[in-house]
Amino acid sequence: MLRLADFNTYYDADSAVRQYLDRKMEYMANRKDVTFALIVPGKSSSLDVVGRARKYTIRGKRRPFDDHGRWILSPRELRRVLKAERPHLLEIGAPFVSPWLGHISAAGIETKLVGFWYQNVPTTLAGSATRFGRPLASIAEGLAWSWARATFNSFHATLTTSSVTAETLRAHGIENVHETPAGVNVELFTPLRRQTDPERKLVGYVGGLSEEKGFGTLCRAFPLILASQPGVGLHIAGDGPLREAARDLERQYSNVRYYGYISDPLEVAELTADLDCAVVPGEVERFSMSAVEAFSCGVPVVAADPGGARELVRESEAGLLYQAGNETDLARAVVEVLSWPDEKAQSVRAEGRDFVLRRHAWDRVFDHKIALYRRIVGRLAAWE
């Protein structure tokens, strides 16, 4: 019997992380050859049991300037859970306090520690520091990569959802990196939800409203798109520092609608399925969940190159790329997608959906992960 555990302090702070962990627990609960423990912070401590899976909620401290996220700062409760579960493998999925807390708590317990690289922290820090000048940004990025090497090389392996990110990590000296695909709910994100008027073209963006996510490039590109495709609608869902830019677009153009942050996955799926083109302009993302959700809905994607969705567009052949940060090239790519003949558009939609069913349906993702976990632990014969 393979014993697995997952420790993640982003559970309440990141909806994509929560969705991944909830689906993982649901999958593991029905496996007869695996036990699984999910360990997350919360307002109070509790234990929930589903089949062979258990969720331990450990009372945590609220993070500064964060209405949702919590930290587990004491190793005592975490160590108690790990001693009870004695996992063969513990996956740790937050970049700062959690890795070192995991090491301390797992001391003396025979377990393989695996880090999950969710976020490109060095690049994000460098982008934030550019306001103070490029030299300081370069120093910040260098220090962040030094931290990343020290942290992730302390694990037995590092997992990431992107082959491009895996190559970047290796280039910066991080060892034992493995790519594992991210998953999407293909029953929720489906072309069957599409209800848009076929006579009206609709472009959409779902994600953080920041320059790092490329949202500013989309804002600058939209008037250029309208110049070539009058009447095109733009739907925006998300929140962030550039929310006023989204509101300005909505005030300026009657065919722009800003929804704010949408927490309900069903609403996100309905919005996404109605699009004729999804824009994924992020340059520093390690992986674009919104691109996979768009493909699952049969929606072509226009993505930044370089960017988190670049390899997805290339592998799926279900969209176009544009030069990152270039609003003119972004407008060109969107207009091209909107101008495709119906036969080509339908073919691309089908290719995107098929790509997700083959690579990113949750069962396929977790089947792949179980096989990878077995290779990392390397003691298959002892469990059977």
- Identify the three-state secondary structure at position 226: helix
What are the backbone angles phi and psi of residue 90, rounded to the nearest 5°? -120, 120
Give dist(CA 8, CA 157) in Å, integer: 16
What are the backbone angles phi and psi of residue 307, rounded to the nearest 5°? 175, 170
Six-digit token pair at 206? 């779902």
Give dist(CA 196, CA 45) in Å, integer: 45
What sign does the dihedral 32-38-43-45 (CA atoms) show?
A: positive
Q: pLDDT at position 3, please? A: 96
Q: The tokens 């996220």 sit on which residue? A: 69
More confident position, 121 or 255 = 255
278 touches 299 (CB < 8 A): yes
User: Looking at the DSSP assignment, which residues form a beta bridge with residue 184?
Assistant: 361
pLDDT digits (tens, 9 = 90+) for 24-72: 999 999 999 999 999 999 888 999 999 999 999 998 887 765 556 677 7
Give the number of other Cβ atoms within 10 Å of residue 223's Cβ.
Answer: 13
How many residues are present in the chain?
384
Give dist(CA 37, CA 176) in Å, integer: 24
Q: State pTM to two decimals.
A: 0.80
Q: Kindly tell me the number of DSSP H helices and DSSP E strands found in the chain.
A: 15, 16
At residue 134, does pLDDT exceed 80? no
207 touches 283 (CB < 8 A): no
More confident position, 330 or 151 = 330
What sign does the dihedral 373-379-381-384 (CA atoms) show?
A: negative
User: Looking at the DSSP assignment, which residues form a beta bridge with residue 57?
Assistant: 40, 46
At residue 85, does pLDDT exceed 90? yes
Percentage of the chain with pLDDT > 90? 64
Q: pLDDT at position 319, please? A: 98
Give dist(CA 372, CA 15) in Å, integer: 25
Give residues with Cβ within 8 angstroms of 241, minimum separation 6.
Answer: 209, 210, 211
Q: What does R_g of the chain's alpha carbons equal in angstroms?
A: 21
Q: pLDDT at position 381, please? A: 38
pLDDT digits (tens, 9 = 90+) for 158-212: 999 888 788 889 999 999 999 998 899 999 999 999 887 777 899 999 998 988 8
Q: pLDDT at position 131, please? A: 63
Amino acid at 301: V
Q: The tokens 């609709």 sit on which residue? A: 202
Q: pLDDT at position 253, please? A: 96
pLDDT digits (tens, 9 = 90+) for 216-238: 999 999 999 999 999 999 999 99
From residue 230, alpha-carbon distances to 222, 226, 248, 336, 360 in Å are 11, 5, 19, 14, 35
Q: pLDDT at position 67, please? A: 58
Q: pLDDT at position 199, please? A: 75
Q: pLDDT at position 380, please? A: 41
Six-digit token pair at 9? 């302090």
Mean pLDDT of 272-278: 97
Q: pLDDT at position 125, please? A: 61
Report all structural domains of the chain as residue ranges with CATH numbers, in order of start.
2-183+361-383 (3.40.50.2000), 191-359 (3.40.50.2000)
Read off the pLDDT band of 106 (50, 70, 90): confident
How far does CA 186 lie from the centroid of its chain? Answer: 16
pLDDT digits (tens, 9 = 90+) for 280-318: 998 766 678 899 999 999 999 999 998 879 989 999 999
Mean pLDDT of 359-363: 94
Angle at 268 between CA 265 and CA 269, to 5 degrees: 85
Q: pLDDT at position 383, please? A: 38
The mean pLDDT of the chain is 89
